[in-house]
A and B are shown apart, each in its own frame.
Chain A
């Protein structure tokens, strides 16, 4: 089943009378259960692609289908609801809410979905175990290490069982040992729950983890290989 399909995606940025072509006709398709990395040098368009796939930015031309639906034909509210239901984000800077505890951060997307309290508690506890943070539910983000915070972010992305999780350089703020742990966790979750992960990186260690490696340069796909 196709989760995301990008057809001839073009993204231009206007910057001081000058047009920057961030993506120049990208065609990509991701199936359910993939664990894919988008790699490329700085400024190549990795983040831009993830933003478009995550429906938090508008494309200039082409189309992006999420779960078969053309996102170009949706309004702001419909896109917000699509993101709420189907897409999880993991950010390089974790982006947790500082005044909420770990479990409150994790349950935030479920609250948005209007799920009842009892189920929220069960699913939050479950996910806390999966990311190896049980016992830390009551902590505040600032009382945790970067690796732990990123685990919380992963749990927050995972808890609503989205069709797709997008992670923009999820390990860039972490040292390589912790980064590896995070990737191992993501891979394990991909295997056990079948969640689709697409993440960007320019770190070869991270690329090694990917089951599919897409290389991008100057806004164009350079190579796309599926590893055995």
Chain B
């Protein structure tokens, strides 16, 4: 009999599992539970990770961004002065080579409504282009998405809730009455608004916590916007609110722009600017400023646009910090829509505003500059994560090709960065999240293998005499070891199959229906963390499932190696005498 002819003894290996049924069942249960748990945890976290990555790509940043290298270096500060011009040309060049793209000017600021304020991340966007790359614009809960040329914004649902603009979904009765009092122009409108809500009585237990007596607290009832309110009703409601001015808001933001400063104090001039300037630039700068005694400062006197640009370039080359000007901007806009998408970011403290309005009439002094152009391959399904065709190198090559066909080149200061470049925090979080529970599952797996090795150790001890007999009958050491590894392997295999079945049974509803965490909605608004809202879904990862089964079987089998090897080191006569 060859070494692998041990398979002929499979019947013996299997029957050996029936010697102590309870012990075998307990061991199988341990393997089963750990394999199942491992599968479920992995599938769950894998599902969250995939969904998060899809949401990042489809709702946050697309596959990649065209940006200045300097912006990318300082992206955490959102340097709104690091802009680039002519996004239309890059957009066209990319389009010719099979990519859609959308320009954005991103800045942070504060949004004020009639009843409060909130810090907001503003996105100046081109609605048509934006809709080609990202999907959040399809998820306008109330109202509509923004349109070119209008002083309007679409707001994330979290911000809308906080600023009390738009339609409240779950106000207290008193809050709703206040709203009605301030927006309804007639009794009919007031009744109409009331009719859209269902009341859930707010109950408080009377007296002590053991009391079953309940009482309704007047005015504190939770009103819930009826799920079956028609679109027409909601539009009418929205219009009533809008007409009251409740949706009018004011943006207050400090936009940093690059400009030659109006005034430079003498000590800065002498210590910071002058030494850093290239000698050939000094003449130019000196000619543009005059020193004034009473302020002890230099004042800008140059008027010519071209000269001013040359001066600015010289200061930027000298890395003079005073060349960045903080401009306080105020802008009045109307909230026209509330976004509630499957991804948390657009739903959060986020606002979208037409780029052309920012650029031209509002006078934000952007002069056509944008901070980024977000990019996605044209026509790829949303479920597909960016692959090779959306890598930085391939997009850059395509962009250069497209530009060349238009007789242009890609400026040096611009580069394509992929989504992962912006998501280091998230990817770190994801690795931690998908890693940490695996450690737990690994520990469980390890514990169940302790159980297996105990079971096998006891079996070998108990069968010492039998092992002696089998060796006397001519089994070699290696055959003996293989026989017990086969037995342990069967144990692992059966346990794994049961574990896979159990894991799949648990995972099935998690994939099909997911778990609704919408009650924890507010917790999901962090900048990092899984990018999913409301319903978390698991996934099917067949390699992980099969791999877990194979690994458990092999590991279990290996557990028999050392004890059996020790058993066959013993003299046969000693084993035979063992009682």
Contact = CB atoms under 8 A, between A and B. Distances in A.
A binds B: yes
B473 A100 contact: no
Contact of A111 (B9, B465, B576): B9
Interface string B462-481: 00011001011111111100
A57 B573 contact: yes
B12 A76 contact: no
B474 A95 contact: no
A205 interface: no
B573 A76 contact: no
A57 B577 CA distance: 13
Interface in B1-37: 1-2, 5, 8-9, 11-12, 15-16, 18-19
Contacts of B576: 56, 91, 95
Nearest to B575: A56
Interface residues of A, number: 29
Nearest to A115: B1
A20 interface: no
Interface string A94-120: 010111100010001101111000000
A156 B470 CA distance: 12
Contacts, number: 74
Nearest to B568: A76
A45 interface: no
A202 interface: no
A81 B2 CA distance: 11
B113 to A, nearest CB: 79
Contacts of A85: 474
A77 interface: yes
Interface in B535-579: 571-573, 576
A59 B405 CA distance: 93
A193 interface: no
Interface size for chain B: under 10, 10 to 19, 20 to 34, or 35 or more residues? 20 to 34
A89 B476 contact: no
A81 to B, nearest CB: 7
A83 B15 CA distance: 25
B573 A51 contact: yes
Contacts of B469: 89, 91, 95
A84 interface: yes
Contact of B12 (A56, A81, A93, A100): A100
Contact of B5 (A87, A109, A114, A156): A114
Contacts of B474: 80-85, 87, 109, 112
B2 to A, nearest CB: 7
24 contacts: A54-B472, A56-B571, A57-B572, A76-B476, A76-B477, A77-B477, A80-B475, A83-B472, A83-B474, A84-B473, A84-B474, A85-B474, A95-B466, A95-B469, A98-B19, A99-B12, A108-B12, A109-B474, A111-B1, A112-B1, A113-B1, A114-B1, A114-B2, A114-B5
Interface of A: 51, 54, 56-57, 76-77, 80-85, 87, 89, 91, 93, 95, 97-100, 104, 108-109, 111-114, 156
Interface of B: 1-2, 5, 8-9, 11-12, 15-16, 18-19, 465-466, 469, 471-479, 571-573, 576
